[in-house]
Structure 1
Amino acid sequence: MFQLTPIVRNLLILNIVFFIVDSYILPLTPNFALYSFMSPHFLPFQFVTYMFLHANIGHIFSNMFGLIIFGPMLERIWGQKRFLIFYFVTGIGAGALFSAIDFFETSQLQQAASIYLDYPTPEGFLDFMSQHAGPLYQANLDFINNFEEHPSDPRFIQDSVNFVKGFLQQQVSIPMVGASGAIFGILMAFGLLFPNTELFLLFIPFPIKAKYFVAFYGLYELYSGIQNAQTDNVAHFAHLGGMLFAFIMLKVWGSEKNKFY
């Protein structure tokens, strides 16, 4: 049985309550998820509220499992106030890093869309699709071929313009939800404070020290974020943001005892 500490227990309850309300009573995601800076739906308070919303059962289960496994130990060491500050700073920091990178990527997409809309051609449409909408390429292959055969047909030109506009609007309107940034911050702190503690994980058939597990997970998230597969809907840079802000906070706070085991 998990020995939950007060803040961990309250965070667990809040996340479950918000998930139930959002899923079955009143949709909260449209207003309280974290939207792109370029979206008309963006509001500053979303940097906090997005942490209490989750996409599905699997999403909330994995995050809350990480919270109750690694959170209580940190709360016992730091106390309730410091642990709560850590949780929110890493969660907000994760959202901030994700938003900054999303702004950069969306700006590039917006520039590419603007170039195409100024001069719509089959070659330009193919270039836009291959660079920015790869997963949709096969689904629109017939249209692309027909457009190439009839490059001056106003119907194909208008349809391609509508597609690019719609795709840009869709990408800007995708929100981020989940406590993953804060959870990865907790994981990072655990790995730094308890580096030699051996973890027994379901997907690894042997014990692994916390420092190696955290290092591997961090490298995986960095690789996945850089790879940026367009079919991947995981906010890898939010995970990295949580780990980065956790590292910074531990350095700022310091400790007479930097490692406990």
Structure 2
Amino acid sequence: MFISDVVKNLLIINVLMYLGTQLMGEPNVTLTNDLINGNVTDFSAWGRYMLAVFYPSSEFFKPYQVVTYMFMHGNLSHIFFNMFALYMFGSPVEMAWGPKKFLFFYFFTGFGALVLQMAVQYIEFQQGAPGWVANVPMLGASGAVFGILAAYGMQFPNSIIQLIIPPVRMKAKYFVIIYAAIEVGLGLSPFQPGVAHFAHVGGALFGVLLILYWRNRGERLY
């Protein structure tokens, strides 16, 4: 399968970031003993997670994290599935739009993912969530990748996607809608509490809104 230039470079950067940040070490922080009890005072204790993003009120938040978090991944399966999805769906979208528009879209949806996740956390704080939650880092390209997935569903709505689990075929537009609905459901449920599901939803939502804005302006998307 042909890999477009921006997608290829994003794949390379993400893999190099993952390998390079391993040299920074794993975080020397535990949820129960350190975060909840407020024992973490040294930023360097976070190791490679210093490049993840923290809630803005956290003492560990740094402005650069708004960008670097998109290139951070927690483990091999995390980066594998994100990069596989970027590889599968990114190139057709980039070839349709061109590299500049695609790259802008990628960062825009990555930022949108952060905005929605932080908005949800703000609501949780207003409803009484403990303060230490602000010091739980978020990382991953998932938000931007979900934006690309939404773009693929809108750009090629009737293309057929072959799923592995379950082994069914469906049109891209239905796949995106179902996947987004599942993410909303998981975000509202107590399952998988360590996954930022609303960041995934935010990436897709901001992607859809940007595409609708471009279409309304009559911009070329093919």
User: Residue deviations 1:144-200, cap 9 Å, x none?
Assistant: xxxxxxxxxxxxxxxxxxxxxxxx42x221100000000000000111111111101
CA positional deviation for 1:201? 1.5
The aligned counterpart of 1:187 is 149
Q: In proportion to residue count, which structure has more helix?
A: 1
Contact 1:33/1:176 (8 A) holds in 2 = yes
Counterpart of 1:18 in structure 2: which amino acid? M
User: Residue deviations 1:191-219, cap 9 Å, x none?
Assistant: 11111111012112121111111110011
What percent identity do the matched residue pairs reach? 42
The aligned counterpart of 1:251 is 212
The aligned counterpart of 2:175 is 213
Residues 1-261 of structure 1: pairs in structure 2 closer than 5 A = 2-23=1-22, 25-27=23-25, 29-109=48-128, 168-169=131-132, 171-229=133-191, 231-254=192-215
| Residues 21/256 of structure 1: CA separation in 2 closer, same or farther (3 Å cut) | closer
* Gap runs ≥5 in structure 1: 114-167
User: Residue deviations 1:117-164, cap 9 Å, x none?
Assistant: xxxxxxxxxxxxxxxxxxxxxxxxxxxxxxxxxxxxxxxxxxxxxxxx
| Residues 256/47 of structure 1: CA separation in 2 closer, same or farther (3 Å cut) | closer
Distance in 2 (CA, whole Å) between partners of 1:56 and 1:196 is 34
The structure with the larger Rg is 1
Distance in 1 (CA, whole Å) between partners of 2:184 and 2:66 is 22
TM-score (norm 2): 0.84
User: Residue deviations 1:227-255, cap 9 Å, x none?
Assistant: 244x5211110000001111111011115
Distance in 2 (CA, whole Å) between partners of 1:197 and 1:47 is 33
Distance in 2 (CA, whole Å) between partners of 1:105 and 1:228 is 13
CA positional deviation for 1:257? 7.6
1:109 is paired with a residue whose SS is: coil
Distance in 2 (CA, whole Å) between partners of 1:84 and 1:174 is 28
Counterpart of 1:37 in structure 2: which amino acid? P
Contact 2:97/2:220 (8 A) holds in 1 = no
Counterpart of 1:62 in structure 2: which amino acid? F
* Gap runs ≥5 in structure 2: 26-46
Mean Cα deviation higher: 207-216 or 96-105: 96-105
Distance in 2 (CA, whole Å) between partners of 1:30 and 1:200 is 35
Contact 1:37/1:103 (8 A) holds in 2 = no
> Over aligned residue pairs, what C-alpha RMSD do you find?
1.8
CA positional deviation for 1:106? 2.7
2:80 is paired with a residue whose SS is: helix
TM-score (norm 1): 0.72
Distance in 1 (CA, whole Å) between partners of 2:90 and 2:65 is 23
Contact 1:33/1:49 (8 A) holds in 2 = yes
